[in-house]
Amino acid sequence: MKKTLRLRLWILILSFSCTLPLAAQRRIYHLPDLDGRVTLKCDLHLHTVFSDGHVWPTVRVEEAWRDGLDAIAITDHIEYLPHKAYIPVDHNAAWKIAENVAREKNILLIQGAEITRKMPPGHFNALFISDAARLDQPEFLDVIKEAIGQKAFILWNHPGWKAQEPDGIPKLYDIHHQLLDKGWLHGIEFYNDVEYYPLVLDFCTRHNLAVLGNSDAHGVISEGYLKAPGDHRPMTLVFARERTRESLREALFKGETLVWFGEMLAGRETLAREFFRNGITVAAPFHENDRHAFVEITNHTEIPWLLVNGPAGAPGALTLPARAITRVLLPKTFTGPLLYDVKNIMTGETTVLQVVL
């Protein structure tokens, strides 16, 4: 006895519903914290009309707020200024324009600049600087020295960018070794926009650097990423004591980061393991029959996990969709530990995270 729809009721209900996308609204990401630290979602490489970007600086803050980020850096090029026929050179302008909006939107805004050179050395972000104008100098090492004097965090950007490294493989040239020797290099981009460079994971492990993932956006973020997998830009997850600029800076210098883009996570094995463990629940079996125990595994995070290379006698592969519960049938003949490779957590150029459920 099917009831006819009372359409008028629907209209009432729906009219409320539909107005919501219009409201200013900040996304919540479900990403676990680590023990004693909060997970800050950061994009530390962004451009505006003040170099070769297409948006006004305040747009970067508003995007970050809607996208649920905690911190961003605006890093316009020092040396590449194609709009200068219309906009006079002012390396600090974007920062000055965006600063107050950031304060009102509760976004940690990091002042930065992109030092833009041929490879080697390539492009570098100086983050946490206080005066970008003083980075406008001819000699690369002088610029870095000035940035270091401003207590900057120095980040090597897209080291395998094909326009500068035709084979796509990042290489440590002499100049990079000089930076390393002086302690003037603190992080490398693993993800830059949609590109990633597996070898960066090994560089970072060997030289104790932070792994970063950034959008390097020139255009509108929502047009570039929001139809992409997981609907988010590449980001650096920084594990900080608290949600302040100072804690963020400290955690970056300690290399306490993972990068997340699409459905891939990458970074230091110990951090990745804790992150994975804190985002998953494996419940006791809720049912058994002659052959199987029935178990529910909840993935609380935004990131689906693809487990492969399972042990003999257990499911060979398990997909744990993001923010969903997966039901697993375990053969009763299986007794060993549930050891899997997490195919989408990279810990080195050729290694992925191994976990026991």
Among positions 137-196, residues that touch its own copies (CB under 8 A) are 158, 161-163, 192-196
Residue 218 binding its own copies, by CB under 8 A: yes
Closest distance to its own copies from the beta carbon of 305 (Å): 11
Q: In whole angstroms, how close is the CB of 181 to its own copies at the nearest point? A: 28
For the chain, the C-alpha Rg in angstroms (whole number) is: 23
Amino acid at 105: K
Residues near 31 by Cβ (< 8 Å), separated by ≥ 6?
Answer: 39, 41, 237, 260, 275, 279, 301, 302, 303
Residue 286: helix, strand or coil by DSSP?
coil
Stretch that binds its own copies, among 137-145, 202-210, 251-259, 321-329 (CB under 8 A): 321-329
User: Site for its own copies (CB under 8 A): how many residues?
Assistant: 94
Closest approach of Cβ 336 to its own copies, in Å?
24
Q: Which two tokens stand for residue 8?
A: 């008028």
Q: Which residues contact 11 (CB under 8 A, 6 or more apart)?
A: none
Instruction: Give yes or no for residue 312 binding its own copies (CB under 8 A).
Output: no
Q: Of these, 12, 133, 169, 282, which contacts its own copies (CB under 8 A)?
A: 12
Q: What does the alpha-carbon distance between residue 342 and residue 348 come to, in Å, rounded to a whole number?
A: 13
- Burial (CB < 10 A; 0-12, 13-18, 19+), residue 223, is exposed
Q: How many CA atoms lie within 13 A of 193 on its CB side?
A: 14
Question: Closest separation between CB of residue 229 and its own copies, Å?
Answer: 4
Pick 16 or 312: Cβ nearer its own copies? 16
d(CA 133, CA 353): 43
304 binds its own copies (CB under 8 A): yes
Identify residues 236-255 at the interface with its own copies (CB under 8 A).
none
Q: One symbol per residue from 274 to 293: x for binding its own copies (CB under 8 A), - otherwise; what is it?
A: ------------xx-x----
Sketch the per residue contact string, 197 through 216, with its own copies: x for CB under 8 A, - otherwise. -------------------x
Residues numbered 63 to 122 that lie near its own copies (CB under 8 A) are 65, 68, 77, 80, 83, 86-88, 90, 93, 97, 103-106, 116
Query: Among 38-46, 130-138, 259-267, 334-342, which window interacts with its own copies (CB under 8 A)?
Result: 259-267
Would you count residue 264 as binding its own copies (CB under 8 A)? yes
Per-residue exposure over 64-89, b if at least 16 CB sit within 10 Å of its own CB, e if not: bbebbbbbbbbbbbbeebeeeeeeee
